[in-house]
Amino acid sequence: MAKTANLFPGVSPLSLGGLPNEDELAQACPAEFKRKNPWSDYAERTWSDGVSLKNWEWKSQDPATQRLQMNCFSNIIGGFMSHEKKMAVAGWMLSEMLVRVPEFIPRAKPAQSAP
């Protein structure tokens, strides 16, 4: 089992997205996340479609921990690693953040104003 100690570093994101330790995370990422799996598939959907968080069941009930984890996840998703590595690490993060893979609920789109 890969170490998760550095999965959610309390560090500032890079100026254009990503995390300073993303290369290390990509190397430490367990093989199961580098293949097709429900966690990485869900991460892919959050990246491409946006997602509502209302049905997420967090492992930690501490709001500060949830914010830190969400910040790290968002920065990995928005970073410039190769797409495959990014989705593998993001899926790994989700598996450590959440109790189970949530049902996908798209983020609500803002209402369009009439011309």
User: What's the pLDDT tens digit per position in 20-73?
Assistant: 888 889 999 999 999 999 999 999 988 887 777 888 999 999 999 999 899 889
pTM of the model: 0.82
Contacts 24+ apart (CB under 8 A), 99-105: 99/57, 99/58, 99/59, 100/57, 101/38, 101/39, 101/42, 102/42, 102/55, 102/56, 102/57, 103/55, 104/42, 104/45, 104/49, 104/51, 105/51, 105/52, 105/54, 105/55
> Integer distance in angstroms from the first to the last C-alpha of the chain?
55
